[in-house]
Structure 1
């Protein structure tokens, strides 16, 4: 058990590093193209590329810094933080749902009986494994952070 997985602690699932790296890398290429247009060819239309590349680089840096999701076993809450901090997506008990791990996927059991799989592939596999180890195994199971 990881030290931060003790009952009462939240489990942060970090993003796989390849996705933010692709975003930052593409912003570098966009900036290079914009700089070539503005400074090499004297085309002021390339300024839009420079602004877009700065915004894309900011998004890539935020993806590196912020977790993909945070699981709170005590509350039964799975929170997906917004990159800019405006509005987080929240699944689980605060939304009137039950979260459980069925052996392959994290599933949201909605109040109307529907089942929806939660996307976890952008998260690092070791972090997702730590998170799912703390989740109940079926929809009716009580929240047991000691699992």
Structure 2
């Protein structure tokens, strides 16, 4: 979400997002570490992804977000079927966000993560990336939303099944 896309504080914003879960052979999933610009002292781990733009399909948005946020280039048709969908509500920048999310899991080996293509707001509010097992993330209590550890487990299971077939 760029600064120009931030809703005014106190409003409600509904959005559709595409999220990507890169999964290594060991089952760890790539996440980003960041914070709400109004709450910099409360960081959390969250999934790669963002809003679906006008004229874009959900897989196209997922592919774009993966490239922009971490520098992994993968065409939309290589994402496969979604591994999960959900709708969550949370507060960001003083606004209530109601977010419909579609998650894609992708198998990766060694990747060079880069923040070079991030938007200005992302550069200001994302400090690191890390590889996580769902159980380990859950134990930290630092997931951006309570559903994330379970989604990491689903992604790792989906990739394990794809690799086995």
TM-score w.r.t. structure 1 length?
Answer: 0.25
| Structure possessing the higher radius of gyration over alpha carbons | 1
Q: Which has the higher helix share?
A: 1
Q: Which has the higher strand share?
A: 2
- Which one scores higher on RCO, CA 8 angstroms, separation ≥ 6? 2
